[in-house]
Amino acid sequence: MKRLKVAVVGIGVMGRHHANIYAALPHVDLVAVVEPDDFRRFEASAQFDVSGYASIDELLRHETLDAVSIAAPTSLHFDLTQKCLYAGVHVLVEKPVVADVGQARYLMDLSRKLGLILQVGHITRFYQAVQLLRREVKRPYLIEARRLTPNARIQDVGVILDLMIHDIDIVLGLVDSEVKSMTVAGHALKANAPEDVAAAQIQFKNGCIARFLASRIATNSERTFIVTEADQTTKLDFAKEPYTEMAVYKPQKNENGSNHVQVNVRTVHEENPLREELQHFLARIRNDAEPIGTLEDDLRSLDFATQLIAKLERTESSDLVQQVIKTL
């Protein structure tokens, strides 16, 4: 099997995870890291015994690569991804691919024109419990997703693109229907900053309702996903890493005709979803795997999230106008 030469662009928390996994995978050579911060670049270069570069231009000038992982701030994704694709390098870019649907569509078309893999890092697609859910759920009529954390690693986009997009992607994989209506509310701790808390409700044309709550300023972490169907309710609890608890509640009748709920709880071992994702990316480069989620799926999730953001911004703008009017 051909050894693939890879680099990691951006050595923050997520980028370091990528580098650790690439360094341990067989038939892969981690050859370089890109990081503008001098201390982190020198530290990662020494830790992984690879070359360190301050910019993507330096990397592409000095290295011959098969693939890169881009784990830089979202605002840099478009420029970094475009340069790598034009250099003939396959790209895995952490979600969100970019914050603009038009730019995302451009990168998607460019990758196909050049015959290169462009994969967006939707890690939840590689959770075994999510794959089980997609196989077993038939016709949901209510979905409730809560994703709360006290930590905010990403600062240049709000919580909708940072966290909620994970659950948006799962929901769109479960509900085969167009959107009928959506409402959204949010709150930012700092003025003129992206939202830190957001709540949204979506009604699909087939009647299904999806409710989302995301926060990166919560007191405690919570990651739950509840799907209700006519004959059962399924709850995923992702906060028990490295396991996901999957509970299925089914209404039953006793022999005397009274009602009760039968509960079946499974513990799904999530060995390492990020490693699964990176291995899948490399397998696609070798033509050994079909995509788990298409670029169209990526684009739909991003479009959905950006519609919520636009609606939130319009609501906030309208509220501000009303406040100004009241002071006149």
Q: Quick one: CA dihedral 108, 216, 126, 177, positive or negative?
A: negative
Q: What's the mean pLDDT in 315-319?
A: 61
> E-strand spans in 10-124?
28-34, 51-53, 67-70, 90-94, 118-121
Q: Is the pLDDT of residue 61 over 70?
A: yes
User: Is-contact 164 198, C-beta < 8 A?
Assistant: yes
- How much of the chain exceeds pLDDT 90, in percent? 85
| Confidence band of 293 (pLDDT split at 50, 70, 90) | confident
| Confidence band of 1 (pLDDT split at 50, 70, 90) | confident
- What is 4-121's CATH number? 3.40.50.720
Higher model confidence: residue 291 or residue 319?
A: 291
In the block, residue with structure tokens 């993507």: 56
Q: Which fold has domain 124-272?
A: Dihydrodipicolinate Reductase; domain 2 (3.30.360)
| Confidence band of 53 (pLDDT split at 50, 70, 90) | very high
Look at residues 61, 52, 59, 6 and name the one whose alpha carbon lies nearest to residue 33.
Answer: 52
- pLDDT of 313: 87
Q: What's the mean pLDDT in 90-102?
A: 96
Q: Is the pLDDT of residue 325 over 60?
A: no
Report angle CA 203, 208, 213 to the nearest 5 degrees: 65
Q: How far apart, in whole angstroms, are the C-alpha atoms of residue 92 and residue 89? A: 10
User: Is-contact 213 146, C-beta < 8 A?
Assistant: yes
Q: Is the pLDDT of residue 103 over 50?
A: yes
Q: What's the mean pLDDT in 274-298?
A: 95
Q: What's the mean pLDDT in 80-102?
A: 97
| Confidence band of 46 (pLDDT split at 50, 70, 90) | very high
| Each residue's pLDDT tens digit, 8-35 | 999 999 999 999 999 999 999 999 999 9
| Each residue's pLDDT tens digit, 167-188 | 999 999 999 999 999 999 999 9
Higher model confidence: residue 258 or residue 197?
A: 197
Q: Is the pLDDT of residue 318 over 60?
A: no
- pLDDT of 151: 80
Classify the phi-psi angles of 75: left when phi > 0, otherwise alpha if psi is within -120 to 50, otherwise beta. Answer: alpha
Q: Is the pLDDT of residue 98 over 50?
A: yes
Q: Can you give the residue ranges of every domain in the chain?
A: 4-121, 124-272
- pLDDT of 322: 46
Q: Is the pLDDT of residue 321 over 70?
A: no
Q: What's the mean pLDDT in 206-231?
A: 96
Q: What's the mean pLDDT in 216-234?
A: 95
- pLDDT of 88: 98
159: Cα within 13 Å, side-chain hemisphere: 27
| Each residue's pLDDT tens digit, 247-282 | 999 988 777 777 788 899 999 999 899 999 999 999
Average pLDDT across the chain, whole number: 93
Q: Is the pLDDT of residue 319 over 70?
A: no
